[in-house]
Chains A and B, each alone.
Chain A
Amino acid sequence: MDGTIFLPLMVVIPILCAILVNLLHGTQTITKIIAVIGAICLPVVPLVATYGNSFFGGYAPLIEGGFTASLPDAVNSLVSGTILELFHPAITYSFGPGQQVILFVLGLVAMCAIILSVAETKKTSGVYLYLLFMLSAALMAFTLTDDIFNLYVFFEIAALVQVGLILVSRVKGNYETGLKYMLLGEIGGSFMLLGIGLLLGLTGNVNITDIVMVIHSGAIDPYNPVLLFAAGMLIYGWLYATGLPPFNSIKSEIYSKGLPSGSILLQSFSVIACITIGLIILRIFAYSSTVQMVVLAVSVLAMILGICLAMVQDDYKRIIAYLAVGELGYIGVGLGLGSAYSITAGLFQAVNELMVTSLLFVGFGLVLYKARTSKISKLGGLLEYMPVGALLTVLAGFAMAGVPPFNVFQSKYMLVQAAMVAGIPELAVIMIILSIVTFLAFLRIAYAVFLKPKPEELEVSKSSVPRTSIAIMVILIIVCLVIGLMPDIVVSQLGQLALTTLAI
């Protein structure tokens, strides 16, 4: 059997599950069974799929024999031997070793979020599960697609689903945050579509590989002002999707308004958008040092702002949210440095952050479960009530700060090396200092939540910590440790994606 059949299934399965759980909302048992089976499929399908391309609504390139019907001679003579033979006249999904790693980790994280939602709610909500599955599908499509308009469509679907996830959380101020996010999203999405439209106008294509081919064939001037304007529009869309400055504040707001299971996928969207749209920008505008400089500058700003703002918050959900945005800056730095090694490091950081931030959201979900408040000033002494959960949460915090032997240590080490090789030691110093600050931020949270004496007015729930959350945290920590101790199992595969990105 041709393993590329699994490529569309990575998107189709979560969409089918989303429709089914929504339709069967009233029947609890069936909804749960479908959700769990669908969730397990998410990390498994990328493992069994074969590397290759899948084409929808069209044909493979003519040079690959994609169009089998006979063309009129006049058309043949026009097309034969030209760049047109290489074009992809279809929505193309590309799947290689790098995508496999990213999709597996994404699937693992999405599976954890869905199972967490199923296990820890008395009455499973089909609508909520629908949102989780739809966001998973959008993220899978984001990673696979080689078609920039297809990416835009899933970008908009993801934006709507994100608002849905905030609205169902019932956290105070969720509707206001949702509307604000949508208004900003309308600008971000429209500007991104404008960029896509300009690229289409200049190159006649929406397939990213084809756009790159046209630009590098010399058919259009790479420094055409309209092309550079399109770059600006795409960068704007990238900033909005990832939550890099100036959108860091609203993005952290979004994370803090979600339920733990929802927040896991909300931050996954930012990470996946950061690497997918970032890689597209790099692929198309690799020749422009200005574009790389902008990506690098915004990323450094995001690191500094995210981590500094995290230090002054009193709400631990907000602290994690700001730290998550700050960590996105590390990914952006990897992409912005522009070498194969730095891009690999950036992708590695992205894969690690997917897991580590999810761990923190689950861990602090436990704190919320026990103490019913997220204000650090009102918390304390929880170590006694949830020792295992506290230990796992602190380990997750150390992982995010880049403490060895966890995976983030390896990716941050690679990023520092990449900055040194690029001749920017100042950047390496900034990254090291910010990692130390992140570590201090976690020490502050750990002390305030778990170690300092319990305030008298704090009422701690007597029910035991949900075992599903603990099991999920243990699984993710083990994966983080394994990758931290054997980074080559993912780095070599991500390296191939980085090389493909830079290949012209």
Chain B
Amino acid sequence: MKKLSIKLKITIWFTTTMILLSIVVFAFFMLISRNTSSSQVKNTLVNIVDENTREVSYDDGEIDIDDDFEMLKNGVNCVVFDSSGTKVSGYLEYDEFGLEKLEDGVLKTVIVNNERYFIYDKLVYDDDDPPIWVRGIVNENNNIFLSSVMYLSILICFPLLIILASILGYFIAWHSLKPIKEISKMAEEIEKSGDLSKRIELKNNKDELNNLAVTFNNMFKQLETNFESERNFTSDASHELRTPVAIILAQCEYAFENATNTDELYEAIGAIQKQGYRMSKLIESLLQFTRIEQNIENTTMQTINLSSTITSICEEYELIDIKGITLEKYIQNDILFNADLSLITRLCQNLIQNAYRYGNENGKVIVTLKEENNSILFSVNDNGIGISEDEISNIFKRFYRVDKSRSDGKGMGLGLAMVKQIAEMYDGTVKVQSELGHFSTFTVIFEKGLNES
């Protein structure tokens, strides 16, 4: 049974149930018809005997049996006896029928040769003449017509019923399993072709299988987006790694074939080292980025004092003193937030670091943290190179750098992508306001209520 397909199983179950059901119905029907038929036989017997009594009379002292007297009608055998009990007319199949005592209006049951017979007697009075007996005998199973129809129907209908039931069962199974077949066919196609953009066609009915198809489609969609972003990430990353590799190989080739003195060799080695640093920095950022992506489940939620966290990050930057930039901070005290400390630190660091990187020499970076209408606003402002309008939509993309010609090996174009990813983890949003050549302000907004629920 385990090896059979569900379709076949359903068909077999359906057919078996149908057969069992019809057997029960037939048995029930036979039981009822048996009872009704024996009472029907008795009625027929009484009726025929009664009818025949009208056809018996005396004619000139002799018993006269009219032509309308029916000796055998509907299986009822009629015999005429005179008042002394001597058979006048009729045929007795078994002697026992004649030996039975004559009793007027009484219906008796006699068993001869293991078969049940009904016997009914009727006295006919004709004026002063001695009465005449009319006896009717009938087999209990006389209802030949009914039973033969029954057997016939059983004989013909049963195989027909089985065939019909199995066809119907198969059809029902096929029809109800059709969507499953389509789903598995589609899944197989996707497996073979690897094309995740394919979807299962949906019907309009809203049954369980349709729900299953919808679930499958959603799963495919999710998989597709995941794979797509994975693929983009790999292609972006490989693209970013190609340039330094190309430079290293080119420098080597030049050094081997064209360098004429040690100065040129040193220059080549210096260039190679620079690209090596660039690659190592890139790999580090890539690792960090993928770790954030993969370890979302491993983060520990805790209540962070955002105010003190951000204050200490700001103080670090003030100490390092990059490009003569002054940092101003307006931080509201004791703002609490539920999140992973290392992720939130990374988010704040990336934004402040960007402000320093793209800020002007001797410029100003303003860090603000405040709570307003149940949302937390963290913003970092710099008066640096700014971002043009058409670039704003791109800055959160991985590996996108506003100032592309800066191949100083510092910015990898991953910082803002990380900021966005972390913010979205905590249902936050990142907003940018900027004017090219004047300023940029990045604001991260967390809804407090959302985060705590």
Partners in one complex: no
**Chain A: residues with CB nearer than 8 A to chain B?**
none
